[in-house]
Amino acid sequence: MKYHHIGIPTREIRKGEVHLKELKMYLSGCADDPFGLEWIRFEEDAPYPELVKTVAHVAFEVENLSEAIRGKNVIIEPNSPSPGVTVAFIEHNGAPVEFLEIDRDIAGDDL
């Protein structure tokens, strides 16, 4: 498991944010932030657990997503937000944690 980013929910419109219409969210920061800070602004009807929409999460890149979430309290099932990337969220001690499995041959090295 390797640190990837910290996702911080926000209601503020941020410079440079990217709208991911199909995911009903806006992202900014992660790719160009030296500490991997990512701000996430959700649309009102975004279909995510309130915990994910209101509490910051830490994200880890894993080799095997299925193995990483086995036996955990999965709150967002594995899904692919972009080519070569599969993610899932668990709840751990009241906080959301994200796991990412990244196929660099497809996704590239910018993630």
Per residue in 77-105, pLDDT (tens digit) is 999 988 899 999 999 999 999 999 998 88
- List the chain domain ranges: 2-107
Convert the pLDDT of each residue in 14-63 to its tens digit: 998 999 999 999 999 877 788 989 999 999 999 999 999 999 999 999 99
Whether the full predicted model's pTM is greater than 0.75, yes or no, is: yes
Residue pair 65/1 in contact by the 8 Å Cβ criterion: no
**Which of 82, 91, 37 is closest to 100 using CA atoms?**
82
Q: How many CB atoms lie within 10 A of CB 17?
A: 17
| Region 2-107: CATH code | 3.10.180.10
The bridge status of strand 2-9 relative to strand 37-42 is parallel
pLDDT (0 to 100) of residue 34? 87
pLDDT for the residue 111: 56
